[in-house]
């Protein structure tokens, strides 16, 4: 694409040019009341807290479903919990409301899985799992859990131990590279092709970089487990921008999971002190202890997940095909709400000022309002014309009523 991000003529004919960014001005803020989940390595379980940090319950009980080395959790499109079981090489599924064991979603060692750390559902609706011990990222069917392929081949990068995963605003997959390289590596989001180090090894003093997240400002934040800091990097170039949370601030010791909350503050699990600490989302200054040390017996908290969260789940066609009907689908929408689906030809990152914590992530050429059904799903089927052959389309879903948005997804039509 040219640097001006103007659509090509065929794409303009296919999608039409619509006015714009008035969307950002029409939204009205709401007060999110998400609960907070964290997997605990020392308990082999999942703990649930209310928005004030008060313990609700141990949602997934110790060892439920053979959970052993419970590492990280992600929330699936249907709202269930998927937890990596590091010691027995599984991904286990639990009811998102009751915490009851549903079943082994990925069975022991399926496809060569060895030491799963983190898993995420991708834009294609399939599950991507970081296989730490062999450095692979394996892909599994998002409905059945059956092994599909090696998205990143094991042992393909020297000294690479895959830990945490995230599809970034540009649609590519970012992976933390483990304690040896201590970097964040970028891979092409559709093919898994290596694009290179996004954050260079040890950049800015990064030591055993663990979890990371793209913040509301579009920048990348990485927990530096070995130095008890949180580092900040440019969201497009990966350049080091400075230490965001100073070493040991608020008692931070071995930071693990990090996540921006609905209040736009940064939540960090302090692994060695059995706490979750909260920091100012703009300055990195310590605010308070969100989860007190050892509350409910929590031992070695890992990731931090907000539920239902401000993010919607949004999926595009895979693959995208011309001359047939393609489908886009938003999930976890409040039933009856109108979802605005935004389509564009280039990624951007513009904060929506009226809705703290949300952002517009593609330069819009088309916006469409789709109502969510009783299950919280909004579906858009569209016949894609032949003139879109080879065009890459970026898309995002925004729930105008609740001020919740998805990350961007992309598809290249063939």
Strands of the 55-60 sheet, one edge to the other? 55-60, 45-49, 35-40, 305-307
Could you give the C-alpha distances from 154 to 131, 136, 149, 163, 219, in angstroms and in order? 8, 4, 11, 13, 29
- The answer to the question of residue 398 being in a domain is yes
Q: Strands 338-351 and 325-331, how do they pair? A: unpaired
Q: What is the pTM of this model?
A: 0.74
Q: Residue 72: is its pLDDT beyond 60?
A: yes
380 with 272, same domain: the answer is no
- The answer to the question of residue 229 being in a domain is yes
Tell me how many domains the chain contains.
2
Dist CA 16 CA 368 (whole Å):
12
302 with 223, same domain: the answer is yes
Dist CA 407 CA 174 (whole Å):
14
Dist CA 119 CA 21 (whole Å):
34
Least confident span in 21-25, 41-45, 52-56, 99-103: 21-25
**What is the average per-residue pLDDT within 206-218?**
94
- The answer to the question of residue 60 being in a domain is yes
Return the CATH number at 356: 2.60.40.1930
178 with 102, same domain: the answer is yes
249 with 303, same domain: the answer is yes
Return the top range by mean pLDDT from 202-216, 324-338, 362-376.
202-216
Query: For residues 60 and 83, is the Cβ–Cβ distance under 8 A?
Result: yes
Among 262, 285, 307, where does a domain finish?
307
Q: Residue 23: is its pLDDT beyond 80?
A: no
Quote the distance between the C-alpha of residue 58 and its chain's center: 23
Q: Strands 255-260 and 404-405, how do they pair? A: unpaired
Q: Residue 30: is its pLDDT beyond 90?
A: no
Instruction: Give the dihedral of Cα atoms 188, 409, 35, 235; nearest 10 deg.
Output: 50
Position 224 scores a pLDDT of: 97
98 with 136, same domain: the answer is yes
- The answer to the question of residue 276 being in a domain is yes
Position 340 scores a pLDDT of: 92
Burial of 338 per CB tally in 10 Å (0-12, 13-18, 19+): middle
Could you give the C-alpha distances from 1 to 5, 7, 172, 193, 409, in angstroms and in order? 6, 8, 17, 20, 17
128 with 258, same domain: the answer is yes
Strands of the 101-106 sheet, one edge to the other? 70-75, 81-85, 90-94, 101-106
**What is the average per-residue pLDDT within 166-193?**
95
Among 262, 283, 307, where does a domain finish?
307
289 with 218, same domain: the answer is yes
Indicate the pLDDT class of residue 356, thresholds 50, 70 and 90.
low
Dist CA 184 CA 37 (whole Å):
25
- The answer to the question of residue 1 being in a domain is no
Dist CA 320 CA 342 (whole Å):
17
257 with 318, same domain: the answer is no
- The answer to the question of residue 270 being in a domain is yes
Tokens representing residue 161 in the block: 């131990």
Q: Residue 24: is its pLDDT beyond 50?
A: no
* Half-sphere exposure at residue 91, Cβ-oriented, CA atoms within 13 angstroms: 34
Among 307, 338, 367, where does a domain finish?
307
- The answer to the question of residue 3 being in a domain is no
- Give 222-234 pLDDT, tens digit per residue: 999 999 999 999 9
Radius of gyration of the chain, Cα coordinates, nearest whole angstrom: 20
Expressed as residue numbers, the domain containing 69 is: 35-307
213 with 279, same domain: the answer is yes
- The answer to the question of residue 71 being in a domain is yes
Return the CATH number at 79: 2.130.10.10
189 with 325, same domain: the answer is no
334 with 353, same domain: the answer is yes
Query: What average pLDDT does the structure give for the chain?
Result: 88
- Give 229-271 pLDDT, tens digit per residue: 999 999 999 999 999 999 999 999 999 999 998 788 999 999 9
257 with 401, same domain: the answer is no
């Amino acid at each position: 694409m040219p640097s001006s991000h103007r659509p090509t003529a065929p794409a303009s004919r296919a999608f039409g040019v619509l006015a714009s960014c008035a969307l950002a001005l029409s939204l009205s803020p709401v007060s999110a009341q998400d609960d907070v989940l964290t997997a605990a390595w020392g308990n082999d379980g999942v703990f649930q807290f209310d928005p004030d940090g008060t313990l609700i319950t141990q949602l997934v009980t110790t060892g439920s479903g053979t959970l052993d080395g419970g590492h990280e959790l992600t929330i699936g499109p249907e709202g269930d919990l998927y937890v990596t079981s590091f010691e027995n090489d599984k991904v286990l599924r639990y009811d998102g409301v009751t915490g009851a064991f549903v079943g082994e979603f990925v069975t022991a060692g399926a496809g060569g899985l060895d030491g799963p750390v983190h898993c995420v559902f991708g834009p294609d609706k399939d599950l991507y799992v970081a296989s730490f011990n062999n450095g692979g990222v394996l892909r599994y069917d998002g409905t059945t859990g059956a092994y599909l392929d090696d998205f990143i081949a094991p042992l393909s990068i020297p000294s690479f131990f895959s830990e945490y995963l995230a599809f970034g605003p540009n649609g590519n997959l970012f992976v933390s590279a483990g304690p040896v390289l201590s970097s964040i590596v970028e891979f092409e989001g559709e093919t898994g092709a290596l694009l290179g180090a996004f954050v260079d090894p040890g950049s800015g003093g990064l030591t055993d970089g663990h979890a990371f997240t793209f913040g509301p400002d579009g920048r990348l934040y990485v927990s530096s487990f070995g130095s008890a800091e949180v580092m900040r990097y440019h969201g497009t170039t990966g350049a080091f921008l400075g230490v965001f949370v100073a070493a040991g601030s608020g008692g931070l010791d071995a930071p693990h999971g990090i996540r921006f909350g609905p209040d736009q503050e940064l939540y960090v699990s302090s692994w060695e002190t059995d706490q979750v600490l909260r920091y100012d989302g703009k300055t990195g200054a310590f605010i308070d202890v969100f989860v007190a040390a050892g509350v409910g017996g929590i031992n070695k908290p890992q990731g931090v997940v907000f539920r239902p969260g401000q993010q919607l789940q949004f999926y595009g066609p895979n693959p995208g095909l011309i001359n047939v009907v393609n489908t886009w689908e938003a999930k976890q929408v409040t039933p009856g709400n109108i979802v605005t689906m935004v389509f564009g030809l280039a990624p951007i990152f513009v904060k929506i000022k009226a809705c703290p914590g949300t952002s517009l992530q593609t330069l819009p050429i088309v916006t469409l309002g789709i109502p969510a059904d009783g299950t919280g799903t909004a579906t858009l089927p569209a016949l894609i014309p032949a003139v879109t052959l080879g065009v890459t389309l970026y898309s995002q879903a925004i729930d105008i009523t609740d001020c919740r948005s998805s990350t961007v997804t992309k598809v290249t039509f063939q």
